[in-house]
Amino acid sequence: MGRAIGIDLGTTYCAVAAVTAVGKAEVLMNREGERITPSVVMFQDGITQVGTLAKRIAPTAPDDVVQFVKRQMGEASWKFQTSHGPSFSAEQVSAIILKRLAEDAELMLGEPIDAAVITVPAYFDDARRQATRDAGNIAGLNVVGIINEPTAAALSFGLDTGFEGRALVFDLGGGTFDVTVMSIHGGEFAVEATEGDRNLGGFNWDNELMSLLNKKAMEAGAPDLFDDDLATAELRDKAETAKRTLSNVAESRIVITAGGQHHTLTVTRDEFERATAHLLRRTETITEMAMEQAGRTWADIDKILLVGGSTRMPMVWDLVETLSGQAPDRTINADEAVALGAAVHAQLLLNNSAPGASALPVIGHHGHTPRVLDVCSQGLGVIILDEDIGAEINSVIISHNTRIPAQQERTYFTVSDNQDSIRLRITEGDDTDVDYVKIIHQHPLEIPRYPAGAPLRVVMSFDVDGIVHVEVFDETQTPTASLGEVELDRPSNLSRDEVDAKVTELNLMDIN
Q: For residues 135-174, which are near ligand AMP according to CB under 6 A?
A: 173-174
When binding is defined by CB under 6 A, the residue of 62, 145, 308, 341 that contacts ligand AMP is 308
Q: What are phi and psi of 147, to 5 degrees?
A: -130, 145
**Hey, which residues between 184 and 203 contact ligand AMP (CB under 6 A)?**
201-203
Q: How far is Cα 276 from Cα 199, in angstroms, rounded to an integer?
A: 15
Query: Distance between CA atoms of 473 and 484, rounded to whole angstroms?
Result: 8
- Contact between 178 and ligand AMP per CB under 6 A: no
- Residue 304's DSSP bridge partners are 168
| Distance between CA atoms of residues 309 and 496, nearest Å | 35
At what angle are helices 277-294 and 202-219 packed, to 10 degrees?
160
* Contact positions with ligand AMP (CB under 6 A) in 8-47: 10-13
The region that residue 79 occupies, defined by phi over 0 for left and psi between -120 and 50 for alpha, beta otherwise, is beta
Q: Which residues pair with 31 in a beta bridge?
A: none
**Shortest approach of ligand AMP to residue 65 CB, angstroms?**
16
Size of the chain in residues = 512
CB 310 → ligand AMP: shortest distance, Å?
A: 4
Contact between residue 253 and residue 266 where contact means Cβ atoms under 8 Å apart: yes
Instruction: Give least dist CB 366 to ligand AMP, A.
Output: 29
Query: Can you tell me the distance from the alpha carbon of 335 to that of 116, in angstroms, rounded to the nearest whole number?
Result: 19
The residue range among 182-190, 262-270, 284-292, 302-310 that interacts with ligand AMP, by the rule CB under 6 A, is 302-310
Query: Judged by CB under 6 A, does residue 207 bind ligand AMP?
Result: no
Give the type of residue at 360. Answer: L
Q: Which is nearer to ligand AMP, 12 or 92 (CB)?
A: 12
Taking contact as CB under 6 A, which single stretch among the options 75-83, 266-274, 304-312, 347-355 is the one that binds ligand AMP?
A: 304-312
Distance CA 217, CA 219 (A): 5
**Is the Cβ of residue 248 or residue 266 nearer to ligand AMP in the bound state?**
248
Buried b (16+ CB within 10 A) or exposed e, 333-365: bbbbbbbbbbbbbbbbbbbeeeeeeebbebbbe
- Of 239 and 470, nearer to ligand AMP (C-beta) is 239
Compare residues 7 and 380 and give the one whose CB is closer to ligand AMP.
7
Cβ at position 289, least distance to ligand AMP in Å? 21
Figure out which of the listed residues 309, 328, 341, 491 binds ligand AMP, where binding follows CB under 6 A: 309
For ligand AMP, the closer CB: 178 or 474: 178
Site string for ligand AMP, 406-445 (x = CB under 6 A): ----------------------------------------
Residue 335 lies near ligand AMP (rule: CB under 6 A): yes
Binder among 7, 153, 254, 313 for ligand AMP (CB under 6 A):
313
For residue 244, state whether it binds ligand AMP (rule: CB under 6 A). yes
CA–CA gap between residue 306 and residue 158 (Å, rounded): 14
CA-based nearest residue to 293, from 188, 370, 379: 379
CB of 473 to ligand AMP, least distance (A): 46
- The answer to whether 123 contacts ligand AMP (rule: CB under 6 A) is no
| Smallest separation (angstroms) from ligand AMP to the CB of 314 | 9
Q: Mind telling me the catalytic residues? A: 8, 70, 149, 171
* Span of 6-14, 184-192, 361-369, 440-448 interacting with ligand AMP by CB under 6 A: 6-14
C-alpha distances in Å from residue 487, one per residue of 124, 377, 410, 483: 21, 19, 18, 14
Identify whether the C-beta of residue 394 lies closer than 8 Å to the C-beta of residue 381: yes
Establish if 121 lies at the interface with ligand AMP (CB under 6 A).
Answer: no
- Number of residues lying near ligand AMP (CB under 6 A): 19
Select 134 or 206, whichever has its Cβ closest to ligand AMP: 206
Q: In this chain, which of 160, 240, 428, 474 binds ligand AMP, going by CB under 6 A?
A: 240
CA distances from 81 to 66, 69, 86, 391 (A): 9, 13, 6, 42
The most distant pair of C-alpha atoms in the chain lies apart, rounded to whole Å, by 84
Q: Could you say whether residue 243 binds ligand AMP (CB under 6 A)?
A: yes
Q: How far is the CB of 199 from ligand AMP (least distance, A)?
A: 13
C-alpha dist (Å) from residue 46 to 67, 84, 240: 18, 9, 29
Return the residue nearest ligand AMP (CB atom). 202
Residue ranges that bind ligand AMP, judged by CB under 6 A:
10-13, 173-174, 201-203, 240, 243-244, 247, 308-310, 312-313, 335
